A and B are shown apart, each in its own frame.
Chain A
């Protein structure tokens, strides 16, 4: 069930009414039932996967919690005879057993993900290496949200192992944390400590929260249906025939894809966060106007924030601060390689994160290249920081210059869009060819001689896109200045509020890219 389908609207509407009619104590049970019903709609056969992950996570978490209880009881009973050293040794042995459960659960959960998502990629590469036929080895469809719930349960287990909170003892409550359906589709990736409080607490009906939530959903539908699904027609023409659509068309495709990806993903997230808000549940933000970023590093602080934080906390820090790597850095410094010693921890951690990020986005080499290029350029910009500092020392007014700021924003947008070309062309060689063509075959006339009308978008489509993008840009600019647009509209007189929201509703209805026989396309991030 796509969240832009009429079925979803009916499902969500019915759930919202039932939710506030249900006693607060039982609201989480209703959410669990709704989440599993939603999941079953996407394919009953997939229920086994999410149940297996939930069960494995539950067993491992209970075992880890049980070991902690046992340790506490042991210390209590023997407090008079145990000295500090004894306790330290005992703690270390308990930690070791907890670690065994953690590893077992992670191997099992990631094993499911690896086989389903990456099995064919690994087999096809091995086959190619030995010149064997390249048939799909595993014929398994990707269960809805498998990456998202696998990452979420991993975070839960690691935090539990680190002792950040106690395990959830109720299997069904844990099941809700794993399967909470609005965010199951494409994130955001939540942490147990924050989300569990939201999910298990009952919520009174709050008209303002419900209205704000529905308004955000409407804005999400606008981004997805009016902009993303409309521009996709042009994008499909360009990426579907890269041999014909080279040069300027490849450049147009690059910009189209950047717009499409952001409107599709952030629109979906607006729907998810908005619906959760209507239920009284606050989810973490996943975007902070990424195309206003002034550098690649800034961009990754604004795009898919919950995934980036996940990688930072559970991959980057553990690798970069591992005792072995720190010892290696120390040795290098002692041997007189201070520069290398300073870099090695950051470099290895960073490249590991971007390798995994690339793999997470898809089982294909172009995603891996995309990931490593991002990691590489982040390190390069880190190396260039002393140069920037010198530049700013020479021209102290430069950082405050509005023109310089705009130049940096445009540069970052173009650079990020360029890297994203690896994402939408079929493979890396086609992408590189398209990139080269943008330089060698660029023809400005394409913008003025009507050629762009051959991409499957009419003049009206371009007009709608332009006006819609202006609206999103204006709203984003307000948000960037710290102004809440919804709060501002809520402060207006009744007729103005009705006019604004009804106007947006009509826009979605009239200009949404659907019609007879049209099926709103899947969200790009559903496939992850």
Chain B
């Protein structure tokens, strides 16, 4: 989770990712951010998030994204 928060904070230092749960609903993360984020996660955490997993519920908060990563790690 710490690595994920580091990646997110580097992208948007002005956002409190530990509490924010409307990252997509409030358009804090846009499609460019999401793709950069997926590339960084693949790079640093060796987890591949595919297009079918890109839904608002998975990206609205750091916690939801972390749960997705854990799920994908489990599947692998």
Contact = CB atoms under 8 A, between A and B. Distances in A.
A329 B51 contact: no
B52 A162 contact: yes
A301 B31 CA distance: 11
A317 B54 contact: yes
Interface string B32-58: 101110110011000011111010000
B59 to A, nearest CB: 11
A345 B39 contact: yes
Among A313, A318, A321, A326, the one with the most B-chain Cβ atoms within 10 Å of its Cβ is: A321
B51 A341 contact: no
B43 A321 contact: no
Contacts of B18: none
Given A318-B51, A323-B48, A326-B48, A342 B31 contact: no
A166 interface: no
B30 interface: yes
A301 B30 CA distance: 10
Nearest to A319: B51
A346 B32 contact: yes
Nearest to B54: A317
Contacts of B27: 301
Nearest to B38: A321
Contacts of B34: 317
Contacts of B50: 321
B75 to A, nearest CB: 8
B32 A326 contact: no
Contacts of A329: 39, 42-43
Contact of A317 (B30, B31, B39): B31
Nearest to A348: B35
Interface in A279-338: 297, 301, 312-313, 316-318, 320-321, 323, 326, 329-330, 333
B49 A321 contact: yes
A182 interface: no
A321 B36 contact: no
B43 A330 contact: yes
A349 interface: yes
Contacts of A326: 38-39, 42-43, 48
A297 B52 contact: no
Contacts of A163: 52
A297 B39 CA distance: 21
A321 B32 contact: no
Main secondary structure of the interface of A (DSSP, over half): helix
A312 B31 contact: yes
B-side interface size class: 10 to 19
Contact of B54 (A321, A345, A346): A321
A317 B43 contact: no
B43 A345 contact: no
Nearest to A309: B31
A312 B55 CA distance: 12
Interface in B8-41: 27, 30-32, 34-36, 38-39
Interface string A122-165: 00000000000000000000000000000000000000001110
Contacts of B36: 342, 345-346
Nearest to B43: A330
Contacts of A316: 31, 35
A341 B39 contact: yes
Contacts of A345: 35-36, 38-39
B35 A349 contact: yes
A382 interface: yes
A320 B48 CA distance: 12
A317 B59 CA distance: 14
Nearest to A84: B75
A297 B32 CA distance: 11
Nearest to A297: B30
Contacts of A346: 32, 35-36
Interface string A148-190: 0000000000000011100000000000000000000000000
A317 B39 CA distance: 11
Interface in A418-477: none
A90 to B, nearest CB: 14
A341 B48 CA distance: 16
A271 B64 CA distance: 39
Nearest to B76: A88
A333 B43 contact: yes
A286 B74 CA distance: 39
B24 to A, nearest CB: 12
Contact of A342 (B39, B48, B52): B39
Contacts of B39: 321, 326, 329, 341-342, 345
Contacts of A318: 51
Given A346-B32, A346-B35, A346-B36, A317 B42 contact: no
Nearest to B32: A346
A90 B51 CA distance: 22
14 contacts: A163-B52, A312-B31, A316-B31, A316-B35, A317-B54, A321-B39, A321-B51, A326-B39, A326-B43, A341-B39, A341-B43, A345-B35, A345-B36, A382-B32
Interface of B: 27, 30-32, 34-36, 38-39, 42-43, 48-52, 54
Given A317-B35, A326-B43, 9 more contacts: A313-B54, A316-B31, A321-B35, A323-B48, A326-B39, A329-B43, A342-B39, A345-B35, A382-B32
7 closest A-B pairs by beta carbon, nearest first, are A317-B51, A162-B52, A320-B35, A318-B51, A326-B42, A345-B39, A321-B38
